[in-house]
């Protein structure tokens, strides 16, 4: 489907846009089912947090109306929303009166092999580490060279995702997913206050698990703790949950809590 820029069909962007110049913006990748934006509230909350931290002022009423109209036309697929700080002249200083720019791009539904969800996936152990920047941690901003470098580390189809650690060797996330592990019945995921993207599905699964009486922990995870986990899975708001069967020499069974969270994720995506 044709893209929109600020509500108008377009296939090109001003060369002065700060999204190009500096990665000065944010994005969201939203599943669309039958014209409906899945987990929209979570996506808008993260976007709003990003806009506050970067001091980008978006017109939320207009943005919301455009998202709804675009999703209606897309029907089923994936909507990528980019919000940039808009145009500027040379130099890092932003024009305080610049209008944020809204870019909507649609694509067909993601076509991952069914086996990823059913039998589970292998993670590639990426050597690219995530740098620590608390001012940007958690946000889905446009500065994504670390993910580009990590994703370029493997090209085989045996690995569906990669595992990324931070500079101190802590387990953080996948390249395009968040990661959970299960230990003694508790659901554990990384603290993302120094780096990482706080995924919308991650937030939903933490919330749902707590509501269901499952113990949850958001904390620092060492690689040896991950290796000793009872179960491991990755998630995002497009594919839901994939059990993780292995990473490097480590192996994990596909366990009951993973299947339970997978069912929860499927319900969220189908809602």
CB of 165 to a second copy, least distance (A): 13
Task: Show contacts of 115-119: CB within 8 Å, 24+ apart.
Answer: 116/160, 116/239, 116/242, 117/239, 117/240, 117/241, 117/242, 117/243, 117/262, 119/243, 119/245, 119/254
Q: Which of 119, 131, 219, 263 binds a second copy (CB under 8 A)?
A: 131
Is 118 a residue of the active site?
A: no
Q: What is the Cα–Cα distance from 211 to 209, expressed in whole angstroms?
A: 5
Cβ distance to a second copy smaller for residue 198 or 261: 198
CB of 110 to a second copy, least distance (A): 8
Q: How many residues bind a second copy (CB under 8 A)?
A: 59
Cβ distance to a second copy smaller for residue 13 or 218: 13
Q: Which of 69, 117, 136, 186 binds a second copy (CB under 8 A)?
A: 136
Cβ distance to a second copy smaller for residue 117 or 149: 149
133, two tokens: 């920047």
Q: Which of residues 53-72 bind a second copy (CB under 8 A)?
A: 54-55
Q: Which of 39, 44, 58, 105 binds a second copy (CB under 8 A)?
A: 105
Would you give the distance in Å from CA 119 to the centre of its chain?
22
CB of 53 to a second copy, least distance (A): 9
Is 29 a residue of the active site?
A: yes
Residues 6+ apart with CB under 8 A from 60: 44, 48
Closest by CA position to 114, among listed 10, 266, 252, 228: 266
Closest by CA position to 162, among listed 193, 170, 220, 153: 153
Angle at 150 between CA 122 and CA 269, to 5 degrees: 60
Q: Which of residues 148-177 bind a second copy (CB under 8 A)?
A: 148-152, 155, 167, 175-176
Catalytic residue among 28, 84, 128, 140: 140
65, two tokens: 């109306």
Closest by CA position to 227, among listed 150, 163, 149: 163
Query: Where are the extended beta strands (E) located within 166-219?
Result: 171-174, 178-183, 186-190, 216-219
CB of 74 to a second copy, least distance (A): 13
Cβ distance to a second copy smaller for residue 112 or 254: 112
Q: In the block, which residue shows the tokens 């697929």?
A: 77
Q: Which of residues 76-95 bind a second copy (CB under 8 A)?
A: 78, 80, 82, 84-85, 89-94
Q: Which of 102, 129, 170, 202 binds a second copy (CB under 8 A)?
A: 129
Q: What is the Cα–Cα distance from 194 to 203, expressed in whole angstroms?
A: 17
Cβ distance to a second copy smaller for residue 15 or 61: 15
Is 41 a residue of the active site?
A: no
Bridge partners of residue 170, in order along the sequence: 222
Cβ distance to a second copy smaller for residue 103 or 264: 103
Binding-site ranges for a second copy (CB under 8 A): 3, 5, 10-15, 17-24, 27, 29, 54-55, 78, 80, 82, 84-85, 89-94, 96, 103, 105, 107, 110, 128-129, 131-133, 135-136, 141-152, 155, 167, 175-176
Catalytic residues: 29, 140, 173
């Amino acid at each position: 489907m044709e893209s929109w820029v600020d509500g108008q069909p377009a296939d090109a962007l001003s060369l002065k846009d700060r999204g190009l110049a500096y990665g000065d913006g944010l994005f969201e990748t939203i599943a669309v089912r039958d014209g409906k934006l899945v987990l929209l509230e979570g996506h808008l909350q993260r976007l709003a947090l990003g806009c506050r931290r970067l001091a980008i002022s978006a017109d939320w009423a207009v943005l919301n109306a455009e998202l709804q109209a675009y999703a209606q036309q897309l029907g089923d697929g994936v909507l990528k929303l980019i919000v940039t700080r808009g145009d500027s002249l040379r130099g890092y200083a932003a024009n305080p009166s610049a209008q944020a720019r809204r870019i909507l791009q649609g694509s067909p539904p993601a076509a991952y092999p069914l086996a990823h969800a059913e039998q589970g996936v292998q993670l590639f152990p990426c050597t690219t580490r995530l740098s620590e920047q608390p001012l940007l941690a958690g946000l889905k901003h446009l500065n994504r060279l670390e993910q580009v470098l990590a994703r370029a580390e493997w090209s085989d189809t045996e690995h569906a995702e990669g595992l990324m650690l931070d500079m101190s060797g802590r387990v953080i996330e996948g390249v395009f997913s968040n990661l959970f592990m299960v230990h003694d019945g508790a659901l554990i995921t990384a603290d993302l206050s120094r780096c990482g993207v706080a995924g919308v599905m991650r937030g939903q699964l933490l919330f749902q698990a707590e509501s269901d009486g499952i113990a949850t922990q958001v904390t620092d995870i060492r690689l040896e703790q991950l290796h000793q986990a009872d179960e491991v899975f990755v998630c995002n708001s497009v594919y839901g949950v994939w059990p993780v069967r292995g990473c490097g020499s480590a192996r994990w069974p596909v366990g009951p809590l993973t299947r339970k969270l997978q069912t929860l994720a499927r319900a969220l995506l189908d809602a």
